[in-house]
Chain A
Amino acid sequence: MADLLSGYRTLAGPDEMFAPDGTYRPAYVEFAERFRRWDAEEYRLRQAASDLEQLNGGVTFTVYQDQAGTERIFPFSLIPRIISAGEWSVIEAGLVQRVTALNQFLTDLYGDQRCIRDGVIPAELVESAPGFNARMRGFEPTLGVWAHIAGIDLIRDRDGIFRVLEDNLRTPSGVSYVLENRRTMLNVAPDLFPGGSVAPVDEYPDRLLDMLVAVRPAGVEAEETRAVILTPGSYNSAYFEHSFLARQMGIELVEGRDLLVHKQRVYLRATTGLERVHVIYRRVDDDFLDPLVFRADSTLGVAGLFDAYRAGNVTIVNAIGNGIVDDKVTCRFVPEAIRYYLGQEPIIPNVDTYVGALPSDLEFMLANLGDLVMKPSNASGGYGIVIGPQASAADLQAARERLRANPSGYIAQPLQEFSTIPSFDGERLEPRRADLRPFVVTGSSSWVLPGGLTRVASDSTSYIVNSSQGGGSKDTWVLRQPRGA
């Protein structure tokens, strides 16, 4: 029987499973003992079972820039990312620290702006930012929470240190895949689980619902709180997730046309008449929420919703206006914000970031573009990225011109040789770069889902892990006890 684990070659960055000397890292030892019983044929059978299960279950996402409504399964790899208990406790503390600071940052930016006066962030980067919503000035959300659900993208760098790549504080998606991946894994590969030592993930829907009730408007009783999920509709790429969460929490999944606002109160249209809604977990972007205030051509939102929100009669989760701190530009200033608001050193550092809007950074970017990864400041999904070391001279020149024409439209980061995890390519194990998106839920306090979504690049040359670019995902295991401790 051919040993799948022999002959594996790592890339420039560290590997999560193998140490540089070829031995297993401690978190993977028990897994590897079990996995070694599989050969290539066994792997193929399990993979086929997993693909079929996801396809039959409709665990799919919709791809844009393709035929309308093409549904695909998210490629799923059966070798998990495994994080030791000790390492996870550091990540967990770092995430809670970061989200706490981000919420205070938002309250300040839309309030007194002490941070600008005290030099944490230049004023011109705030007021001119597309994510800054002047209508939110002076707003005080329930419990001071803006980023109720945060997805913080992490990578492990060349030195083995986890760093923040970006914060997602608007409508971060992917948590349904975390839950579905675990379910698939338990169904098709139960023999790989070390007995009883992987932290479960199925607590998430309960935590989410508790949070939605906790942030209800003042004067509403917990038992009578009506929370709903607002989706753009079944053609949205993340529709599966919206419906999944509604099902898991047992609350209504609504579209804009199901809601109406009357006298600054939000109601849903039911067969029995109108029913009051108190909390809206929206998966619709700010711009589309209310045609009276934002984009008038939007049919996804609800006329009058913003007014009801500002009147304090409905809580919107996540808050409107979070875009100001989760863009790639502001991200650069978050470590400083952590020191400023909490008086603590950041537990998880940022990836070094250069911001075109700062003259000194711009100069550096133009001079070193060939060594940097340039990204549009305000785009997601892995679109429009230029990877300096892989780009042709012509591509670099075009990128420089775009940068000069619109410096504030771009940021750059050094190319990260981030960590890889083995994936099976049909014949053998191959390294794939992977990031990690943990989810933090914040109501009266912050709770971190153990693990998160591990996304992997589509082949060993790629640095991009987004599903829209062909990337896949893995189950993420947080071990409960440190091994050998």
Chain B
Amino acid sequence: MLSRVAENLYWLGRYLERAENVARMAEVNYNASVEQRAAGGDDSQLWTALVGALDAEEEYAEAVAATPDLSPGEWLIFSESNPNSLRSTVTLARSLARELREHISREVFEEINLLYLSATRAPHTAGMRPFTASVKRTVAAIVGLFDNTVLLNEGREWLRCGLFIERADMTSRIVDAKYFILLPSPADVGGTLDTYQWMGILRSASALEAFRKRYRGAITGGRVAELLMLDEDFPRSLRFCVSTLTRHFERATEATPRQQALPAARELALLDLDLGAADAEEVVEAGLHEFLGEFEARLARVHDAIKEGIFRAVPTAALAR
């Protein structure tokens, strides 16, 4: 497969997954903020926390300097000037899909194109909820259509690699969002507000129902961390994402010269081992935020190794033949 096409499919997977996650996080935040305002509370911190979890504080500050009444929700969802807004992510996915037309089916392209057309047709007026809901539904439809209408070849594996590396990264950021929501005092740890916030994290990862099935008792930080980071069977956990990513990467690179695939494969194997050996209580004890930061950095190394070793490789060895 053409290296450029493989890279584009990988990025299409990343953008689709990113769009779906941002939509879900925004939706949970929106509900929580409505609740807080109804209870007479201040909801601004919820949105600031989301901006923090997405590593976008500086960009947001710049945007606010230019447009003082720009709300973080507006900026995260609709802003055209924010290259990572939901709308921008959908636009990027669609322009990749347009470049990839001959590698995806007509059905897949049409779904992505419809999403893009609806995103550009003044979504502000309809409000945030219909837009985020349609992003979630459409991304699920696209991934399903991809499985059912596109040849199961290397290209599909690259799309899956993109989906799972992005999902791992986003789940990590969702869990980390808790770090940015401050509790009024250390005594509140384990209290009602704390539990409520962890519940929000579970919802953001579509994990509340899975949590109820897995655990009979209270929602605690340790348990949430265990489910979202280390569970082998929950499809959004870090561990699940990394092992699935590893499997797709192996299939995608079956015919790739070994030395080109090795750096990424090594990073992935080590990451998988470390997640398998980790203990949730210890991680929370030692500092969840630090652990997640380290995890995201290691994922970025996997990404770089794929890019340098495969997508952008200079084929000197092949030329020598």
- Interface residues of A, Cβ cutoff 8 Å to B: 55-58, 234, 239-240, 243-244, 246-247, 252-255, 257-258, 262, 268-274
Contact = CB atoms under 8 A, between A and B. Distances in A.
Contacts of B106: 57
Contacts of A55: 117
Given A234-B98, A253-B102, A272 B1 contact: yes
14 contacts: A57-B110, A58-B101, A244-B101, A252-B2, A254-B2, A257-B4, A258-B3, A271-B1, A271-B3, A271-B255, A271-B310, A271-B311, A272-B256, A273-B257
Given A247-B102, A252-B2, 19 more contacts: A55-B117, A56-B114, A56-B117, A57-B109, A58-B109, A58-B113, A234-B99, A243-B101, A254-B2, A257-B4, A258-B2, A258-B4, A269-B3, A270-B1, A270-B3, A271-B2, A271-B253, A271-B310, A271-B311
B319 interface: yes
Contacts of B109: 57-58
Given A247-B102, A253-B102, A271 B6 contact: yes
A244 B98 CA distance: 11
A270 B4 CA distance: 8
Given A253-B102, A258-B3, A57 B95 contact: no
Given A57-B110, A271-B154, A274-B315, A234 B102 contact: no
Given A58-B98, A58-B101, A274 B319 contact: yes
B318 interface: yes
Interface of B: 1-6, 95, 98-99, 101-102, 106, 109-110, 113-114, 117, 154, 252-253, 255-257, 310-311, 315, 317-319
Contacts of B2: 252, 254, 258, 268-271
Nearest to B97: A58
Contacts of A255: 4
A113 to B, nearest CB: 41
Contact of A274 (B101, B154, B318): B318
Contacts of A246: 101-102
Contacts of A240: 101
Contacts of B319: 262, 274
Contacts of B255: 271-272
Contacts of A273: 256-257, 315, 317-318
Contacts of B98: 58, 234, 239, 243
Most buried by B among A57, A244, A246, A253: A253
Most chain B C-beta atoms within 10 Å of own C-beta, residue among A244, A254, A273 = A273
B159 to A, nearest CB: 13
Nearest to B3: A269
Contacts of A56: 110, 113-114, 117
Nearest to B154: A271
5 nearest A-B residue pairs (beta carbon): A247-B102, A243-B101, A246-B102, A273-B318, A272-B255
Nearest to A254: B2
Contacts of B102: 243, 246-247, 252-253
Nearest to A262: B319
Given A243-B101, A258-B3, A272 B114 contact: no
A183 to B, nearest CB: 10
Contacts of B257: 272-273
A55 B110 CA distance: 9
Contacts of A252: 2, 5, 102
Contacts of B4: 255, 257-258, 269
A307 to B, nearest CB: 16
B99 to A, nearest CB: 5
A184 to B, nearest CB: 13
Contacts of B6: 271
Most chain A CB within 10 A, of B3, B110, B113, B154, is at B3
Contacts of A270: 1-3
Nearest to B314: A269
A83 B253 CA distance: 53
A252 B109 CA distance: 17
B100 to A, nearest CB: 8
A234 B255 CA distance: 29
B98 to A, nearest CB: 6
A254 B1 CA distance: 11
A56 B111 CA distance: 8
A286 B89 CA distance: 36
B102 to A, nearest CB: 4
Contacts of B5: 252
A269 B114 CA distance: 32
B311 to A, nearest CB: 8
A96 to B, nearest CB: 30
A257 B154 CA distance: 21
B171 to A, nearest CB: 27
A154 to B, nearest CB: 31
Contacts of A244: 101
Contacts of A258: 2-4
A482 B255 CA distance: 56
A272 B113 CA distance: 31
Nearest to A58: B113
A240 B106 CA distance: 13
B113 A234 contact: no
A258 B2 CA distance: 7
Nearest to A250: B102
Contacts of B114: 56
Contacts of A274: 315, 318-319
A247 B114 CA distance: 20
A228 to B, nearest CB: 9
Contacts of B317: 273
Contacts of B310: 271
Contacts of B311: 271
A177 B154 CA distance: 31
A257 B3 CA distance: 10
Nearest to B1: A271
Contacts of B99: 234, 243
A272 B95 CA distance: 26
Nearest to A268: B2
A234 B101 CA distance: 10
A272 B252 CA distance: 10
Nearest to A252: B2
B174 to A, nearest CB: 31
B111 to A, nearest CB: 9
A254 B5 CA distance: 9
Contacts of A262: 319
B315 to A, nearest CB: 5
A240 B98 CA distance: 8
Contacts of B256: 271-273
Nearest to A247: B102
A346 B113 CA distance: 47
